[in-house]
Structure formats: structure tokens, C-alpha cells
Amino acid sequence: MPASVSSRALLLVLIVLIFGASGLFLLSRPVQSPQELPKERIPETKEIPEPEKPAQPLPEIIPEPLQKMSVEVAFPNLSFSRMVYLTHAGDGTDRVFLLLQQGIVLVFPNKEDVSKADVFLDITEKVNDAGNEEGLLGLAFDPEYKNNGYFYVYYSAIPPRRSIISRFSVNTNDPNKADPSSELVIMEVAQPYSNHNGGNIIFGPDKYLYIGLGDGGSAGDPHGHGQNRGTLLGSILRIDVSSSSRQGRYKIPSDNPFVGVAGTRGEIWAYGLRNPWRFSFDRVTGLLWAGDVGQDGYEEVDIIEKGGNYGWNIMEGLHCFPLLVSNCNRTELKLPIAEYSHDDGCSITGGFVYRGSKLRFLYDAYVYGDYCSGKVWALRYDGARITEHIEIASTTLSISSFGEDEKGESYILSFDGRIYRFKPLG
């Protein structure tokens, strides 16, 4: 043999002796990628799950200090009587849904030059709006609305006088029309008087439906509903409507604070409220903010917590009730985060924490106003204390509600028939 062949033969013998037959096998075939290797040759590993993504993306906007603003008409070609709420369906269409107290839901594209609105739902024949605080008061779209077409309304009805929370469905042939025959009544609550109906309904980040009910009305809470957990009145409720049918209208979540407590309604999430007129969840923090209408002297802003007792009718704002009482038992009461006296208004309208992109100096601030004075305030809260709090606008509007579109931009509804938005000064 030539010397080169002998050397190669010797090298082969050495490899076999060191690595065995398997080493010779590997040398005799092309090198494979891990995907091509037989399964038994790939070490077994446990799949590492991806970290959970937050419900909302972390804000990229760095807030600027709060500043005063003016307001301007948002949709100059539209005007409607007794507007009480503005919202969106969360389905990516950027449509605006507008609630009229007499029993109509309107829908229109979110464009400044829009000139007409379609009637999405008309239930005026069902709605009792005889009282100033009665009527069609609440609208909430199911978290799965894009897939199931369900939405919910809160309205007043007679006889007998009661509040009704119902589910309706969108028309399968027209996304701008609801099916009025699809009503499924979820809950009915007897109302002793025509005022303090509450009326707000929203879905929380947990996909449960939150319902606001006032103390039942009159003045001073004559039936003591605010501190009575055996009634649904004077409370914010939390229910599960994900499997509602004619056989079972709703379920009570097992982690509601008073489930299984004798003499207490399990639907209650928080209580001791006089008339929560508009509450909302912060899209980023998940905090539940509420404006609770006062009686003799003070209006209040609350952060609603599980099981919280917000004091009515022991207290009004930060003060004992009646206001002539100098001392009261505040044990275990949740005090408001902010209040204002009737020198600055007479009926709070709760709003939203601004999460839009157009007003950097309003970002991360909770906005609320007063129906009587037209004043609007904003405050920032760091989780422990208020860091900023100013009056941002002084208007002549009768502020019936604030609204929010799909992008987080804010609107003001006024009983002069117009929808407004904030405008920077200068």
C-alpha cells in the first residue's frame, strides 16, 4: 500500500477504538441539522410558556403638568336632546354609540364632519322617562361583542316602578342595527322613588358586569338602603353574564366579597353609595373610579374597592350626615379621595382617566365635572395620594355625562344638545 493509504487506515482504526461503531456511523453520513435528527436523539425539554402580556400596553406617553383648557363642539353637525352617555363597541370599527334618555341608542362614525346618526336601538315604548333621573341610563358592550353581538342596557320601567338590566343582540344583517326582539331581561330591581336610580353599567377587566344603583331616592335615604347589605340599592353590583339564558339570567362570582354572608346580597361589590352617577375603570391601572352625588353640601370622588363601605348615609363626602351632626362612627368606612362643596356645584358627573394621545397634559388624570356649575376638574393619583388636582375648565354646560371613544379620547355631553371635547388654550 502507498504510505498515504496506510495512514488513513490507521486513523480509521483509532477512531473506532475511541468512539465505537456509533462514531464511525456519524462520520459516514452527512451532518444533519437538529430538525433532521431522529426524535430519540433530541434531548427532552419542557416548553417554557411565554410571559403573560398585560391587559393594556404600558403607556408610552409621558404626562405633562395639568393645565387649564377650553371646550369645543366635537361634531358640529349633530345635536340631540337629553344625551346621557357616549361609548364604543370595542370592536375595532371606531364607531360612536350615543344614549338618549327617552330610550334610543344612536350610532355614527367617529368623524368630525359626520352629519347623521343611525338609530341602533329604539325601546322608547318600554322606557319610563317621566322622572328627571329615569329613562334609558346605561349601555355596555359585551367583551366578546365582536363575536357574539351582545350588548346590555339599563332602563327605568313602570308599572311597577323598577330598573331593568337587559341583554340585546345586534342585527345579523346590519351592524348599525340592533334586534329589538332579542331582549333577555337579566335583572329587575324595584325602585321606591323616581330619583337616585344610578344607571351606569360597565364591564370590568375581569369581564364581569358592574351595575350602579342609587339608594332608591327621596332625600336622606329614608329606608336606610345605603347601609343595608340585604338590598341591592345603594350599591355597585358585580355579576357574571357570560352564560346568560332564559334558564339562568346571571351568576354571582364566587369571589364577590359577601357571598355566603347571611342577610347579605351576594351580588354586591361595594355599598354605602347615594347615587353613583358614572363610574369607569382606568384602562391601564384597572382602578374603578366613581362620582357619587351628594345631598346637602358635598359631592365626592371615590375609588371603589372590593367590599368597601362608602359611608352613605352616615357621611356625605368627608363630613358626618346630616351636616349638623359633629360626630359619627367612621369605623371601616372608605372615605372619598376628593370632594367639593356646593359652592362649586350641586351634582357631580363622574368621568374617565384620560388615556388618549391628543392631550399629553391630561394623560393619566381622572376627569370629572358638575352638572349645575359646568366646572370640570382633573386629578392625578399615584396609588397612595393625589399629586395634582386643578379645575381645568369653567363652562356654562349642563354636563350630563362624559364619554370615551375606542382610542381613549374624552367627550363631554351637555343638555344643550351638543357633544364637546377639550381644547388646549392658545
> CATH number for the domain including 242?
2.120.10.30
Predicted confidence at residue 42, as pLDDT, reads 28
Q: 80 lies in a domain?
A: yes
Q: 12 lies in a domain?
A: no
Rounded alpha-carbon distances, angstroms, from residue 199 to 72, 151, 175, 304, 305: 27, 15, 25, 16, 19
Cβ atoms of 154 and 138 within 8 Å: the answer is yes
Q: Give the Cα separation of 414 and 98 in Å (integer).
A: 12
Predicted confidence at residue 60, as pLDDT, reads 65
Q: Which amino acid is at 95?
A: R
Predicted confidence at residue 246, as pLDDT, reads 84
Q: What total of structural domains would you count in the chain?
A: 1
Predicted confidence at residue 62, as pLDDT, reads 80
Q: What is the pLDDT of residues 52-85, one digit of tens each?
A: 444 455 456 788 999 999 999 999 999 999 999 9
Predicted confidence at residue 370, as pLDDT, reads 98
Predicted confidence at residue 143, as pLDDT, reads 98
Contacts of 381 (CB under 8 A, 6+ apart): 287, 303, 337, 366, 387
Cβ atoms of 317 and 336 within 8 Å: the answer is yes
Q: Give the Cα separation of 235 and 208 in Å (integer).
A: 16
Q: 19 lies in a domain?
A: no
Q: Which structural domain range is residue 121 located in?
A: 74-358+399-421
Contacts of 285 (CB under 8 A, 6+ apart): 353, 383
pTM for this entry: 0.86
Q: 165 lies in a domain?
A: yes
224, burial (CB in 10 Å: exposed 0-12, middle 13-18, buried 19+) = middle
Q: What is the pLDDT of residues 24-58, one digit of tens each?
A: 333 333 333 333 333 333 233 333 334 444 445 54
Grouping H, G, I as helix, E, B as strand and the rest as coil, residue 160 is coil
Q: 388 lies in a domain?
A: no
Distance between alpha carbon 268 and the CA centroid of its chain, in Å? 17
Q: 264 lies in a domain?
A: yes
Q: What is the pLDDT of residues 103-133, one digit of tens each?
A: 999 999 999 999 999 999 999 999 999 999 9
Q: 63 lies in a domain?
A: no
Cβ atoms of 164 and 155 within 8 Å: the answer is yes
Q: Give the Cα separation of 155 and 191 in Å (integer).
A: 12
The parts of the chain modelled with pLDDT lower than 70 are 1-60
Q: 28 lies in a domain?
A: no
